[in-house]
Amino acid sequence: MRKLSRISLAAVLVLLTISAAAYGPHIATAAGQIYSRLQVLEDIMEIIDRHYVDDVDVDELFDNATRGVLENLDPHSNYFSAEEYAALQEQYRGDYAGIGVSFEMFNGVLTVLDALEGGPSQALGLRPGDKIVEVEGQSAIGWTVEEVYDHVRGPAGTRVNVTVIRPGVEELLQYTITRSNVEIAAISIVAMLNEEVGYIRLNTFSQKTADQVEKALQDLQVRGMKRLVLDLRGNGGGLMSQALQLTDKFLDGGKVIVETRGRTAVANTSEQTTDRDTHPELPMIVLVNRGSASASEIVSGALQDWDRALIVGETTFGKALVQNQFRFRDGSALFLTIARYYTPSGRLIQREYLGDEYLEPVAVDDRRSED
């Protein structure tokens, strides 16, 4: 672990300075007030470091204090230590071996968002909403993201035993998962379902996803496609820029794709289509489920609001929060929600996130059915 001294606090103050410059005198006043409170926090940390009865890792105390602040916000605003952020970037690159799930720590519980296509967890039947509560007999409750990586990842071919709580199932579920190299392909299936209907399975919105979909569309049209099924089931999102570019292919120019609304001027935006639509008349069905979130909901919401596609499946996840990433000099990072996004008709699809059921797909459907 790195030593705190004044480095991490200085990083926070740098963020406050940037915020004040960007958002004006009101934020500058707030930044001054926060600065004085942070000085007290720094004094407390130094007193603990010098006088507490046992040796302590002050850096770890600071990380925990930061996470404590974020607990009062939303589930998607998170602080990552330098080690956790580096591991997160490794996951995005896809060059690691693991059990093949995307997850989120919610109220200290490792909750599965999706079992990745073709991965070992999907093969064994893990599903969105499963809570991994033990790994190799050790409680996983309260783990940091870094601790999850330390215990769950390992060389390809090795095994790890996990205990799972599944919503609606009384008994604990036991799985022995053989780790494998995890690679998240943006597109897993491109096929003709019959002589006229093309099918594209899109797993994530990563770099160049829109270009890859365009190539797939052209290939399918050469093979006679006249109608398209776009499968976004289990697609937990990704880069908003790619979601915008993909939606742009199917809508005429000048149409709103999504609006973001926040507390500051820079958080209020309206993204519109260009005149570069390449498939504006192609009849479409979009498949969604509980695992379709964020960027997937931007695409399906825009196509639905403009009566451009028929949306078929289950109630989607309901994530309409926009995060900005703030990097600090010590390698740590803050992912902070700065806005909510709205569909072209003005719908806010974000669900309430109070209570443990937020990441439980079964409970999600129950709540939506009562609205």
CATH of the domain at 227: 3.90.226.10
Residues 294 and 364 in one domain: yes
Residues 301 and 192 in one domain: yes
The answer as to whether 77 is a domain residue is no
Quick one: pLDDT at residue 63? 81
Quick one: pLDDT at residue 7? 41
Catalytic-role residue among 294, 296, 300, 332 = 294
Q: Say if CB 323 and CB 338 are below 8 A apart.
A: yes
Residue ending a domain, choose from 158, 182, 206: 182
Catalytic-role residue among 8, 180, 300, 319 = 319
Catalytic-role residue among 74, 114, 130, 305 = 305
- Residue 203's domain comprises 187-320+337-370
Residues 140 and 191 in one domain: no
Residues 266 and 220 in one domain: yes
Residues 225 and 354 in one domain: yes
The answer as to whether 83 is a domain residue is no
Quick one: pLDDT at residue 368? 24
pTM: 0.66
Along the 371 residues of the chain, how does pLDDT read in single tens digits?
A: 344 444 445 444 444 444 444 555 555 556 667 777 778 888 888 898 899 999 988 888 888 888 888 888 888 888 888 888 887 776 555 556 889 888 878 778 999 877 877 889 999 999 988 999 999 999 999 988 878 988 998 888 999 999 999 988 999 999 999 999 877 678 888 999 999 999 999 988 988 899 999 999 999 999 999 999 999 998 988 889 999 999 999 999 999 999 999 999 989 999 999 987 789 889 999 999 988 999 999 999 999 999 999 999 999 989 999 889 899 998 999 999 999 999 999 999 998 876 555 555 433 332 222 22
The domain tally of the chain equals 3
Residue ending a domain, choose from 182, 198, 217: 182
Indicate if 319 belongs to the active site: yes
Assign residue 142 the CATH number of its domain: 2.30.42.10
DSSP letters spanning 223-274: TT--EEEEE-TT---B-HHHHHHHHHTTS-TT-EEEEEEESSGGG-EEEE--
Residues 34 and 152 in one domain: no
Indicate if 305 belongs to the active site: yes
Residue ending a domain, choose from 135, 161, 182: 182
Query: Which ranges in the chain belong to alpha helices (H)?
Result: 7-23, 25-51, 58-70, 82-93, 120-124, 145-152, 209-222, 240-248, 295-305, 361-370
The answer as to whether 328 is a domain residue is no
Residues 233 and 364 in one domain: yes
Residues 106 and 168 in one domain: yes
Q: Say if CB 319 and CB 294 are below 8 A apart.
A: yes
The answer as to whether 329 is a domain residue is no
Residues 241 and 273 in one domain: yes
Indicate if 294 belongs to the active site: yes
Q: Say if CB 160 and CB 148 are below 8 A apart.
A: no
Alpha-carbon distances, residue 99 vs 44, 66, 123, 358 (angstroms): 41, 29, 10, 23
Residues 67 and 105 in one domain: no
Quick one: pLDDT at residue 361? 44
